[in-house]
Chains A and B, each alone.
Chain A
Amino acid sequence: MGFRTYLIRRIVYALIVLFVILTFNFAVFRLMPGDAEKMIIDPRFSPEARMALRKQFGLDDPPLVQYWKYITSLLRFDLGQSFATRRPVASELAERLPNTIVLFLTAFTLTMIIGTAVGVYAAQHRGTFAETFVTGAGLFTYAVPTFFFQLLLLMLFGYYIRIFPIHGTMSAPPPDGAFLRFLDRVHHLILPAGSNVIIGFGSWALYTRNTMLEALGQDYIITARAKGLPRRDILYHHALRSVLPPIVTLIFLSLPGLVTGAVITETIFSWHGVGRYLMDAVLQQDYPAAQGAFYLIALAVIISNFMADLVYGLVDPRIRVGAGERR
């Protein structure tokens, strides 16, 4: 199977998932018990406004027509109007999306770099403290609920030793000057991003170490040693390079988890992002807003899954230059 076929399969697959999620979104908000109108149109509107909206949302159409309209409007990013603010959900989300991206790109990059580096180090230094550390950190990731750890950090550094701000994306009012404003943002970023890094890097490091050790036990590594290659070349050029495909894939596969974790992290640190928007919308029963935020998150997840497949295909010559499929 060539890379082209592989790619096409993955695209088709991503589209199927997207379709399922869109349908879910449609079904949940319309077919659930209760009055569909109540879910979509703010009951506090005047009867005339309600009538207009009924028409706009096509609530009087048969379900299939509604479904079609719904799909086409979502694809145009027309997500309706928020009950709470009366503003288009799409523009509210557009406002918050950059914040979420900044937070999670930072956390993600640091987790990846630190995790991989620590894992490679531990694989080289077997039986030392590094190994114990990595195992412990991995267990930490696995067992400690992220929100608990974040609450602890928040209490410790936000309330006890007050060195970090306790909520928000930036100070209000923001300080003058671009540089100070930048520092202010970084200051707000440290706790939410840092907690994700500390929680996350352990499982990374453990995974990297395990795959590295597995690779180091492969025949081609012994061959490389027999060839008299210097240690460094063996480690990086042979071992690390050969575990790169699974690691890179995992990097992208971990993205959905991060996007999902956004809800909790943003809630705890009152981060002005998409995750908290979803949470607020759900709790305030602001259905169009909830629906829009969910759609955006699901889209991000689908895209990162697709990228994982794509990158895997690019890094592994067995897929890039033909031969079998993944797994």
Chain B
Amino acid sequence: MSGETVAAQAAVQSAPRRKRSGIADFWAQYRRRPYGLVGLVMLALYIAVALAAPLLTPYDPRKTEFFLADRLAAPIWARFVIPRFRNAPPTSRYTIHPDQWKVERQERASLSFEEAGDRGETAVIRFEPSSEGGGGARSELSWRVHYGFNPPNTFEGKVTYRVEAPPDAMTQLSLAIVDPEGKEYDIWGTAVYGEQDWTTAGLDSRDLQMKTRLNMTIFDDPAKVIFATKGDYRLVLKASSESPSAEARLFLAPAKFNILGILHGLLGADHMGSDLWAQLVYGARISLIIGISAAVIGVALGTTIGIISGFLGGPVDEFLMRVADVFLSVPTLPVLIILSAFLGKNMWNIVLLVAAFSWMGSSRVVRSQTLSLKERAFVEAAKAAGASDAYIMVVHILPNVLPLVVANMVLMMPVAILYEASLSFLGLGDPRIPTWGRMLQNARAFGAFTELAWWWLVPPGLAITLLSLSFTFIGNTVNEVLNPRYRERS
């Protein structure tokens, strides 16, 4: 065997051996650095939150879950911290089952219950046919609810019903709220001529319809007026029917009544009444995915370019480095803004764009490392042994630049996260996914400022800050351990 081949083999073996012993070594050195550990713990926390998101919140912000609470609801704990929220209502949701209605009055009508297929149990009010001049049949049902908070901003409800009656019949249905003092507010009503299949009527204190019905202007707030005092309220359902020819029947499925809270969840609600805590928690997933994938793609690109440029040298090197220079002197954010506006608001577009504009740094570092590796004995030996360029680049150079690459990758992540956050903040993010940048944008666009809703603003901002900080700590520590020569640079 010639001396050169022996040397080549020794070189081939040297790289993996170095690497294996390296990992234990690396950890032994890494763990001695407090900043590195703090960074790791923080990152672990983020990953845990991202993975456990469905366990941490019952809501899923990727679905449209609106009006879980009032718009711009404050967090539950605001009750203890901010005086104006001391006795503010949380969200109360009630489902009124047919058997929960209490009969107040019945004239020529009777109430019974029956199973109606997929609607479950329904209440059936039977109205006797109206006799000549004898007037209609009527029924009045009520349901009691206690309200013990300051006035809410909004209440809403749903009534689901069906009418079975001859064509000449007219059935009327209305809802009223009776306050503790006995004042009655007529909030909703409808009239059915003849028959009607299952219908769900929504009622909402923000609707102009209800305000008109209550003789209020659009600027008035029915919820505030009606629930002005604490005490027992009654929801009264009045039904009547004039059916000359035959019996009329009104079926009632379970009804809903919700008082939307001014307080909601851990972080309150946004302008659509969606849960902010859920957005924050799921945002961790998105940020990690975007940061990690953009950094991995960008640095992989940079490493490839760096190795090729350094190893091949000559005009290829000159060309690639000029390209890197041009990319470096282009105003990144404006380019990203224009391109993401053109390519469409899509998360993977953003990832690819950020990657495409962040490979230059790593390609330079890797190139200079490759230049010095190229002169080393094991590369010379492999060349002498007839290894192809590609083989040498992958087997000999790549493992040796990996430490640099890893550190670069970690340091790239916060940059990618910040770019994504900036784009989302500017309204160029993917509208279908909750990100911290979009939370901030929403906060700005939809009234967090006038309401001083700092709980909407601070958590996503802080989440971004701390995540970048943890990546920075880890990246710097990895750099210190793996690349002591580069330590002074940063």
Contact = CB atoms under 8 A, between A and B. Distances in A.
Contact of B457 (A17, A155, A279, A301): A155
Contact of A145 (B428, B444, B448, B461): B461
Contacts of A160: 452
Given A143-B472, A145-B421, A155-B454, A263 B338 contact: no
A305 interface: yes
Interface string B403-431: 00000000000100010011001111000
Interface in A108-152: 139, 142-145, 147-149, 151-152
A143 B325 contact: no
Contacts of A278: 334, 337
Contacts of B325: 13, 17
Contacts of B338: 28, 282, 290, 294
A248 interface: no
A58 interface: no
Nearest to A140: B465
B330 A154 contact: no
Given A263-B337, A282-B337, A297 B331 contact: yes
A32 B341 CA distance: 12
A159 interface: yes
B464 A305 contact: no
A20 B422 CA distance: 25
B426 A263 contact: yes
Contact of B450 (A24, A32, A159, A285): A159
A298 B334 CA distance: 8
Contacts, number: 111
B449 interface: yes
A20 B326 contact: yes
A154 B449 CA distance: 8
Given A142-B472, A155-B449, A260 B331 contact: yes
Nearest to B466: A143
Contact of B461 (A17, A148, A290): A148
A32 B469 CA distance: 37
Interface in B325-341: 325-326, 329-335, 337-339, 341
Contact of A155 (B331, B426, B452, B469): B452
Contacts of B331: 256, 259-260, 297-298, 301
B106 to A, nearest CB: 56
Given A297-B334, A301-B331, A139 B469 contact: yes
Contact of A148 (B428, B440, B448, B472): B440
A267 interface: yes
Interface string A234-269: 000000000000000000000010011101100110
B468 interface: yes
A305 B326 CA distance: 11
Contacts of A282: 337-338, 341, 428
Given A155-B454, A294-B334, A264 B426 contact: yes
A21 interface: yes
A101 interface: no
A158 B332 contact: no
Nearest to A306: B329
Interface string A76-87: 000000000000
Interface in B445-462: 448-450, 452, 454, 457-458, 460-461
Interface residues of A, number: 46
Given A17-B326, A145-B422, A159-B449, A151 B334 contact: no
B443 interface: yes
B342 interface: yes
A229 interface: no
A205 to B, nearest CB: 16
A17 B444 contact: no
A319 B339 CA distance: 38
A16 interface: yes
B419 to A, nearest CB: 10
A163 interface: no
Contacts of A305: 329
Contacts of A145: 418, 421-422, 461, 464-465, 468
A226 interface: no
A154 B444 CA distance: 10
Interface string B321-358: 01001100111111101110110000000000000000
A283 interface: yes
Contacts of B342: 28, 32
Contacts of A28: 338-339, 342
A23 to B, nearest CB: 11
A315 B333 CA distance: 30
Contacts of A302: 329
Contacts of B414: 142-143
Interface of B: 322, 325-326, 329-335, 337-339, 341-342, 414, 418, 421-422, 425-428, 440, 443-444, 448-450, 452, 454, 457-458, 460-461, 464-466, 468-469, 472, 488
Interface of A: 13, 16-17, 20-21, 24, 28, 32, 139, 142-145, 147-149, 151-152, 154-155, 158-160, 166, 214, 256, 259-261, 263-264, 267-268, 278-279, 282-283, 285, 290, 293-294, 297-298, 301-302, 305
19 contacts: A21-B330, A145-B418, A145-B465, A147-B421, A147-B440, A148-B461, A151-B457, A152-B457, A155-B448, A260-B333, A263-B337, A278-B334, A282-B338, A283-B341, A285-B341, A293-B334, A294-B338, A298-B331, A301-B330
Given A278-B334, A285-B341, 15 more contacts: A16-B322, A143-B465, A144-B465, A147-B440, A151-B457, A152-B461, A155-B448, A155-B452, A155-B454, A158-B449, A159-B449, A166-B449, A256-B331, A290-B338, A294-B334
| Top 7 closest pairs, chain A to chain B, by CB | A148-B461, A143-B469, A301-B331, A260-B333, A282-B341, A143-B468, A260-B331
